[in-house]
Structure 1
Amino acid sequence: MREASGTTPVTRRDLARLRLASQRLVGERCSSPAEAVRWMACMQGQDLPGVLESVALRSLGPDGGPATISDVRAALADGSVVRSWPMRGTLHLVPGEDLGWMVGVAAGRSRSA
């Protein structure tokens, strides 16, 4: 990496750690599965077992410990997380409160395709 004058160089290792932290795969977890999905804006959900695990890895359960797949399923059941086709005809998990505007933004492109 090139160093700008007066700055400390950022290594590839630093960038990798920052990426993992920003995706909540290391460090602080989100307070709930719904918050994890909100943090990511949406998560591709074609493979349901995979996306359930991905959300659980990033969040805490109601007891304050690591979330389980059952906790993520509970968020789907209560509507705080929704599995839908907001864009590209691909299943995603999205925050329940954001589904309407996401579909509105992406619907024209999906219809024209």
Structure 2
Amino acid sequence: MLKKLINIIVFVPLAVVLVVLSVANRQTVTLALNPFEPADSMLSVSAPFFVFLFLAAIVGLILGAAVTWFAQGKHRRRARNEANEALKWHREAEKQRSAAERLVQPTLPTPQN
């Protein structure tokens, strides 16, 4: 519940700001990828400014998610190893339990005539 509330408090104002910026920045701008000759049309892209804003937000989200995923890799590996270890010990306990049950089972008396 708290996480949902925090998400609403953070993402709703962020969405409002992005929509306002999109409406206010509809003019076409040119993104020049050649810093030495900005007039080079081969390395430039023209689009409305809000397209670049949304692309920057999307790229930021993807990069942030990738960095977080790689940073948590050691924790996922440790959890996977511990789960495998727990399964191994669970199987061993079951094996020992069944062996103990076989030893404790009472032997049926043989009928004597």
TM over 0.5: no
TM-score by length of 2: 0.26
Computing the radius of gyration from Cα coordinates, the structure with the larger value is 2
Relative contact order: is structure 1 or structure 2 higher (C-alpha 8 Å, sep ≥ 6)? 1
Greater percentage in helix: 2
Greater percentage in strand: 1
